């Protein structure tokens, strides 16, 4: 509930960003540069006089959509890898899992930096990079969940009835893997958000004047002493989002995992 109470307002704010933000996030007011928080500008203004509250609100939409897209890409590509590996076994399982093990040996941020360096900077390429880095995680998770479902009687019955392999995987095995995938996706949203913010902070993700949270923190570095609010508010937005998503993921795990339910 705590995670939901943190995440829900952030998601709602992102969805209603054009109506919640009092100003256009790109409108400059050079007469009101680096102003502190006030009644007219709740989070103050940046070095170009842009309203920081409006930029953080619009940045919520960009950051959340980017992290959700990266996780979705990892799911779309990683889940089939895990299903095929568990179902076919043998050399297919061995080959796919060795590739997954190699990719898992590298930190997500490192894989993302390498992919972005190849594809080029930008939000779309950052999403592709993180999505590719997520593939081995979901492949390994889906394989583990599928292996626990494969020996069950309804899967054996489906095989005995002559159902096709694809139908067995989609109709009988995949539904048994949904719970761990949903929980992991919620938690991994936080990791994806942090990674996208990190790439933008390094100049490899969103580019100015985009109000992405990591880019806002990066732009505030040279003004930390004169205008600390430029780093504080985007940083708080990142922190609260990551905290809320992690708490929400833990809560979903407690709710959906039958081993953790009280008798």
| pLDDT tens for each residue of 33-59 | 888 888 888 898 888 889 999 999 999
Higher pLDDT, 258 or 207: 207
Q: Give the lowest-confidence range in 1-10, 81-90, 101-110, 236-245.
A: 101-110
Q: Is residue 46 reached through a cis peptide bond, with omega within 30 degrees of 0 on the bond before it?
A: no
Instruction: Tell whether the model's pLDDT for residue 227 goes beyond 70.
Output: yes
What's the whole-number mean pLDDT along residues 210-217?
A: 90
Q: Which residues partner with 51 through β-bridges?
A: 45
What's the whole-number mean pLDDT along residues 235-239?
A: 94
| pLDDT tens for each residue of 116-135 | 888 888 888 889 988 988 88
pLDDT at 263: 45
Split into its structural domains, the chain has a count of: 1
Q: Does 153 map to a domain?
A: yes
Residue 220 dihedral angles phi and psi, to the nearest 5°? -85, -5
Return all residues near 118 (Cβ < 8 A) that are at least 6 apart: none
Instruction: Tell whether the model's pLDDT for residue 261 goes beyond 60.
Output: no
Computed over every residue of the chain, the mean pLDDT equals 87
Distance CA 181, CA 141 (A): 7
Q: Does 192 map to a domain?
A: yes
Q: Does 35 map to a domain?
A: no
pTM given for the model: 0.86
Residue 70 exposed, middle or buried by CB count within 10 Å (0-12, 13-18, 19+): buried
Q: Does 36 map to a domain?
A: no
What's the whole-number mean pLDDT along residues 80-98?
A: 88
Q: Which residues partner with 45 through β-bridges?
A: 51
Q: Does 40 map to a domain?
A: no
Q: In Å, how far are 35, 132, 139, 173 from 65, measured between CA atoms?
A: 30, 16, 23, 29
**Which CATH number covers residue 235?**
1.10.3720.10
Instruction: Tell whether the model's pLDDT for residue 4 goes beyond 80.
Output: yes
Q: Does 114 map to a domain?
A: yes
| pLDDT tens for each residue of 153-198 | 888 888 888 888 888 888 888 888 888 888 888 888 999 999 999 9
Residue ranges making up the domain that contains 56: 2-26+48-254
Q: Does 226 map to a domain?
A: yes
Structure tokens at 164: 């096709």
Q: Does 39 map to a domain?
A: no
């Amino acid at each position: 509930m705590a995670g939901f109470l943190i995440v829900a307002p952030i998601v709602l704010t992102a969805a209603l960003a054009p109506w919640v933000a009092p100003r256009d996030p790109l409108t400059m007011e050079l007469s009101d540069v680096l102003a502190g928080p006030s009644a007219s500008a709740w989070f103050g203004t940046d070095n170009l006089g842009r309203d920081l509250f409006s930029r953080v609100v619009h940045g919520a939409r960009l950051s959340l959509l980017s992290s959700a897209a990266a996780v979705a890409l990892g799911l779309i590509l990683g889940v089939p890898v895990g299903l095929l590996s568990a179902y076919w076994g043998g050399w297919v399982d061995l080959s796919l899992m060795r590739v997954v093990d190699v990719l898992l040996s590298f930190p997500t941020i490192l894989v993302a930096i390498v992919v972005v360096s190849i594809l080029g900077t930008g939000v779309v390429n950052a999403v592709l990079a993180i999505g590719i880095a997520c593939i081995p995680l979901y492949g390994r998770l889906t394989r583990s969940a599928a292996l626990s479902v494969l020996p069950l009687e309804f899967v054996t019955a489906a095989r005995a009835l002559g159902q096709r392999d694809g139908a067995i995987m989609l109709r009988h095995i995949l539904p048994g893997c949904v719970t761990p995938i949903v929980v992991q996706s919620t938690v991994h949203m936080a990791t994806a958000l942090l990674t996208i913010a990190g790439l933008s902070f390094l100049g490899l993700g969103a580019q100015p004047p985009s109000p992405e949270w990591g880019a806002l923190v990066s732009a505030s570095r040279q003004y930390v002493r004169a205008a600390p609010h430029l780093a504080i508010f985007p940083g708080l937005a990142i922190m609260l989002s990551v905290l809320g998503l992690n708490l929400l993921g833990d809560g979903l795990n407690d709710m959906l995992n039958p081993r953790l339910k009280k008798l």
